Chains A and B, each alone.
Chain A
Amino acid sequence: AAGVIQSPRHLIKEKRETATLKCYPIPRHDTVYWYQQGPGQDPQFLISFYEKMQSDKGSIPDRFSAQQFSDYHSELNMSSLELGDSALYFCASSPGWGVNTEAFFGQGTRLTVV
């Protein structure tokens, strides 16, 4: 069965550069979540989209922005990168926006800022 696809899997950027992370949800899933997991930390909710509209926002810095496109894939854009942005970034998708929707996670993008 198709899973959530994230690209790239690994990314190395320098400080102050920009990075774009992509997420392709499971087919027919219309909800996408983004999470950031620092080393040894729990995943922190960044932002979510339902039907191409932002549905919720967590601890996402102003330097970050995201959107969900007409084909339901999502991109997380990160500008003016800082060393502290080095983390594993996960995307998850779920079918619909309702009670008891199970979220399926991608393998993550490991971002290293040097």
Chain B
Amino acid sequence: SQQGEEDPQALSIQEGENATMNCSYKTSINNLQWYRQNSGRGLVHLILIRSNEREKHSGRLRVTLDTSKKSSSLLITASRAADTASYFCATANRDDKIIFGKGTRLHILP
């Protein structure tokens, strides 16, 4: 079954604004991870949130997890041009298989 469905699929915002991306999943998870990928490049791990955590911060990133709704959100505050990239959520289930969603393409406008 498909895990980690991101929405929106594409997002364009002005530099300095906040960007919010959402992710929904279907099965029970051990943790949820967010990754960033610049066009055609490698996947960079941003943040991991455990299934017993509700919110986590890292610099300008804020991640929330609602296991009752099987959803997570990634908030990037005070966006910068360098934040332009694709963002994927990935869920690790009880077998520790990490499954990626389709990603949100974020474009920061100058």
Contacts and interface: CB of A to CB of B under 8 A. Distances in A.
Interface stretch (A12-20, A75-83, A102-110): A102-110
Nearest to A35: B100
A56 B97 contact: yes
A106 B45 CA distance: 11
A102 to B, nearest CB: 5
A100 B43 CA distance: 18
A44 B40 CA distance: 15
Interface stretch (B13-21, B62-70, B73-81, B88-96): B88-96
B11 interface: no
Contacts of B100: 35, 42-45
A38 to B, nearest CB: 12
Interface residue tally on A, bucketed by range: 20 to 34
A52 B39 CA distance: 32
Contacts of B42: 90, 105-108
Given A42-B102, A43-B100, A106-B42, A100 B30 contact: yes
Interface in B32-59: 33, 35, 40-45, 48, 50
B45 A103 contact: yes
Interface string A86-114: 00101010000111111111111010000
A8 interface: no
B31 interface: yes
A107 B41 contact: yes
B99 interface: yes
Interface of A: 31, 33, 35, 41-45, 48, 55-56, 58, 88, 90, 92, 97-108, 110
10 contacts: A31-B96, A41-B102, A43-B43, A48-B97, A90-B43, A92-B43, A92-B98, A99-B31, A102-B48, A110-B40
Instruction: Across the A-B interface, give the 9 residue pairs with the lowest CB-CB distance, nearest first.
Output: A105-B43, A107-B42, A43-B100, A42-B102, A42-B100, A99-B30, A56-B97, A100-B31, A102-B48
